[in-house]
Structure 1
Amino acid sequence: MVHHRNALVTGASAGLGLALSRELVRRGWRVVGTGRREDRLAAAGAELGSAFLTVAGDVADPVHRKRLAEVTGALGQLDLVVNNASSLGASPLPPLAEYPLDLLEQVYRTNVVAPLAVLRFALPLLRAAGGVAVNISSDAGVEPYPGWGGYGSSKAALDQLTAILAAEHPDLSIYAFDPGDMRTDMHQAAFPGEDISDRPTPETVVPALLRLIEQRPKSARYTSADFTEVVR
């Protein structure tokens, strides 16, 4: 019987999540992919075939997370979780003092609470498989960019949550990964009307993320630059 490595990727219907899922499937993994946009997720499923198991829904929804837990648990083994789903929040980006608080709560539900909730059901499975957990971060969680208070503070919270989980589970590989600026729909929403075609595509970041997953350095926060091979 062929042994598949299994991954759960959130936000898998576009951007980095889709680019990563494509490459994992190409390498023989089975991927449970989730995303809010059912049409996009279905298109990804049609492209990637039976190795890409689609579970459409919002990771901020506890009912959807329960379904994710059931589908993932049924695989029998879980080798990788990538919490990639994110909410930018208000667009165009407002000053923090004027940020709509209902939207801020929504951003935190998606960017902080949901990744923790996913890992709560995933950690025992990852431990059994000697697996890896990656929470996708952002330099907006480190640098105080004006206008990025909602998204940035949520990523700062995610970084600290990741670091504490790593400290509490020293036997597991738990990472925060900052992919840098990418040409994605979310990045475009942050800069409405601006040309962002100079940003690198998500596909260019996948090799660095896969090196992190394969090399398994000590649990910490890393950037894609830490795993980008220098061509001499």
Structure 2
Amino acid sequence: MTNTALITGASRGLGLALARSLAEAGWNLVLTARGAQELRQAADELGATAIPGDVTDPEHVARLAQAVPELDLLVNNASDLGVTPLPPLAGYPLEAFRVLLETNVTAPLALVQATLPALRAAGGAVVNITSDAATGAYEGWGGYGATKAALEQLSNVLSAEEPAVRVWWADPGEMNTRMLADAVGAEEASSAADPAKVAAALRDLVRSRPASGKVSLQ
């Protein structure tokens, strides 16, 4: 039987690297991201299903859940950095912070809720991509880090409430991605880890199926 994974933020970065890694292992993939053209190119490359859209849109979440009546793995990878240049909390625009919470916290929970019946039936797994900014006091990263801290606690409680489903909240570390470049500049980002290496570690995690909990991918 072929395993099925739903990956958000799959048009670039870690999401695309993980999609490539799982495709090599024979997984059936449903991919989503806001960038429709990039997403469809990725799906064509991998023989996957592309469903472009915004994970903060309830109708889009419903479409994704309908597309995976059987689901072995949900990867909540889609994320928003927030305001750039990264502002201190004293001046963080509150409306922008509300949008950040909607993307990085509410949307992953909505997808979990929508796909839990299929995940329970399959004895599947949820991977929520988090960050060391969830626990580190890094100047400028307060808005983004607070959302990742909330996502970690949601994952922690979900793991206790859903014993039939594996739940991992995974810190990928710094990766050479567009998001990191937006935060720290392209030159500094270029020295970070290749997302493909992090994706390989994530695929190993899924294959080995350890107990639910927080994991580091580097």
TM-score (norm 2): 0.97
Give yes or no for contact 1:92–1:192 (8 Å, CA) kept in 2.
Answer: no
Give yes or no for contact 2:21–2:203 (8 Å, CA) kept in 1.
Answer: no
Q: Which residue of 2 aligns with 1:96?
A: 89
Tell me which moved more, 112-121 or 60-69.
60-69
2:165 maps to 1:172: yes
Give yes or no for contact 2:4–2:29 (8 Å, CA) kept in 1.
Answer: yes
Offset of 1:191 from its aligned partner? 1.5
Q: 1:193 to 1:45 in 2, by over 3 A?
A: closer
Partners of 1:72 and 1:150 in 2: how far apart? 32
2:123 maps to 1:153: no
- Write the mapping of 1:22-61 to structure 2, written as runs, cut at 5 A: 22-49=20-47, 52-61=48-57
Q: Which residue of 1 aligns with 2:175?
A: 182
Q: 1:102 to 1:195 in 2, by over 3 A?
A: same
Letter in 2 for 1:202: P
1:128-171 deviation line (CA, Å, top 9, x unaligned): 11111110010000101110011100000000000000011122
Offset of 1:194 from its aligned partner? 4.2
Letter in 2 for 1:201: D
Q: Which residue of 1 aligns with 2:68?
A: 72
Partners of 2:118 and 2:66 in 1: how far apart? 12
Give yes or no for contact 1:173–1:219 (8 Å, CA) kept in 2.
Answer: yes
1:1-34 deviation line (CA, Å, top 9, x unaligned): xx32100000000000000001111111111100
Partners of 1:198 and 1:210 in 2: how far apart? 23
Q: Secondary structure at the match of 1:195?
A: helix
TM-score (norm 1): 0.91
Give yes or no for contact 2:61–2:114 (8 Å, CA) kept in 1.
Answer: no
Aligned-CA RMSD value: 1.1
- Number of residue pairs the alignment of both structures matches: 218
Q: Which residue of 2 aligns with 1:230?
A: none
2:98 maps to 1:105: yes
Q: Which residue of 2 aligns with 1:229?
A: none
Q: Which residue of 2 aligns with 1:116?
A: 109
Offset of 1:193 from its aligned partner? 5.7
Identity value in percent: 49
Give yes or no for contact 2:101–2:147 (8 Å, CA) kept in 1.
Answer: yes
Partners of 1:211 and 1:48 in 2: how far apart? 19
